[in-house]
Each structure stands twice: as structure tokens, then as C-alpha cells.
Amino acid sequence: MGAITFQEVTKDYLLPDGARLRVLDKISFEVADGTFNSILGPSGCGKSTILNLIAGLDQHTSGNILVQGKPRIGFVFQQPRLLNWRTVADNVALPLEAEITDAGARRRIANKYLALVGLGGFEHYYPLKLSGGMQQRASIARALAIEPDILLMDEPFSGLDEWTARRMREELMRIWQETGKTIVFVTHSISEAVLLSQQILIVSPKPATVFKTVRLDAPYPREYGNLQLFEIETNLTRDFLTMNFE
């Protein structure tokens, strides 16, 4: 069994009129330990719901979700969600407060992960003094500070300009290679998924099903303009256009 396994998982939401809205329909996939995986699909197809189910923030309707052991799970959201009245270091240390009473120890851990994401020297800044990309780096550091086994990322670069997003993707590849975390990354960008991933799960519009699973063996570090990646992206774009978007 992999780090995460979904076996014919279905998720329905109960509407105010008593009807049921099916968001996921018998989704099955497996995520191996230490791998980088993307969930790729159109906006509103239920990708974030899959992350919420992995994190235990929501409950599935039927099927089985198997998560190996009792992993610590870090979550990076689309927006940084930093507290503007706390310094960057204090934001990163926030999830540590429940289990580490020594403020100095929390600060050392926060500084370690701020350095990892390229924010060394910005520990005492407040979020509003940082660019959008720097704020997102801080949110990644906060998720890593708990030293998670699994890192869930919900379209973390979608709100950034393309130049900043490119730099963040390169940084994320570096961080993943340095930490060896299991990453599940949600995106609606084919090029982003191809650049980052070892496995791509393409899901259809609601009710979401697994349209295709793609495994990529291109070596890291990966670069923009790589012909092998461009060919994969072209083929996936063609596959994407064959899905039923009605």
C-alpha cells in the first residue's frame, strides 16, 4: 500500500432541498511515499475536496481512504492566510505552540524553514511588508515547520504573476528534493503539473472521476523549455480536450 490510497471513493453533499450533489464518483488512485503528485482538472471539479478528505477535514460518502500509519499532514492553501499582526517567524511558529513550550526552540525551527524557503533575514518582517510570492513562501515554511510526512498544496501559486510563479515552482522542486516529503499538489495548469510531478491524476468535471493517470520519469531538476516535458504537455492537452465538459 502507498502512503495514500483511495479505493472507489465517492463524496456527496446534501443540498438544502434534500437533494444530493455528487462531487466525487468512485475515485481510485495511489500515492507512493516520498513522491510528487499532482491532481489536475478544470476549476470546480472537486480537486480541493480530495485534499480535504486526505487531511481529514471532510468525510467521504462511500469507498475507502487508506493513509499509511498516522502521518503528520501539512497544508498549503491558495492564499497564504498569514496573521498580519504577527511577524513572519511568529506565523511560521504558530502551529508549533500547541506542542513546543520553549519559545526559543519554536523560533529556531521557524528560522530553519524560513531559510529553506529563501526567507532568511526576513524573520522580523510583518506579512504586509512582503510580496505575494514571499508571503506564499512563508506559508510553505509554516506547513513544513511541523515536519509533516505529507504536504498538501491547493493551487498555491495560482494568485501569483507568471514570473513569480515560475520561481516558486523551481523553489518547490528544490525543497521537495531536499526534504523527501510526499506531496499532493492541486492545479488546473497542465504545464505546472508536468514540470513538477512524478505522477499526475487527471480528474473530470463534476462528478469527478479519474480520467487518466500519467507517470513521468523525466529527471530532476527540470527546466522550462525541456523538449521531453513539452511533448508530454502537448499530449496531455490533447487528452484534456477530449474530456466531457458539459
Per-residue model confidence (pLDDT) at position 206: 84
Q: What are the E-state strand segments in 61-189?
A: 62-67, 73-76, 150-154, 182-187
- Residue 236 in this model has a pLDDT that exceeds 80: yes
Per-residue model confidence (pLDDT) at position 243: 76
Q: What are the E-state strand segments in 1-90?
A: 4-14, 20-31, 36-40, 62-67, 73-76
Per-residue model confidence (pLDDT) at position 97: 93
> Pick the residue with more confidence: 184 or 223?
184
Taking the C-alpha atoms of residue 102 and residue 51, their distance in angstroms, rounded to an integer, is 32
Mean confidence (pLDDT) of the chain: 93
First to last CA, the chain: 35
- Summarised one tens digit per residue, pLDDT across range 110-154 is 999 999 999 999 999 999 999 999 999 999 999 999 999 999 999
Using the 8-state DSSP alphabet, how is residue 198 labeled?
S
Q: Please give the helix or strand (H or E) that residue 211 lies within, else none.
A: strand 210-215
Q: In angstroms, how far is CA 77 from the centroid of its own chain?
A: 8
Kindly report whether the peptide bond that precedes residue 42 is cis, defined as omega within 30 degrees of 0.
Answer: no
Taking the C-alpha atoms of residue 239 and residue 230, their distance in angstroms, rounded to an integer, is 14
* pLDDT grade for 18, boundaries at 50, 70 and 90: confident
Signed CA dihedral, 93, 165, 192, 207: sign only:
positive
- Residue 239 in this model has a pLDDT that exceeds 90: no
- Mean of the pLDDT values across residues 91-102? 94
Using the 8-state DSSP alphabet, how is residue 138 labeled?
H
Provide the percentage of residues in the chain whose pLDDT is more than 70: 98
- Summarised one tens digit per residue, pLDDT across range 41-93 is 988 889 999 999 999 999 999 999 999 888 999 999 989 999 999 999 999 99
- Residue 31 in this model has a pLDDT that exceeds 90: yes
- Residue 245 in this model has a pLDDT that exceeds 60: no
- Mean of the pLDDT values across residues 193-222? 93
- Mean of the pLDDT values across residues 19-23? 92
- Residue 246 in this model has a pLDDT that exceeds 90: no
Taking the C-alpha atoms of residue 40 and residue 191, their distance in angstroms, rounded to an integer, is 10
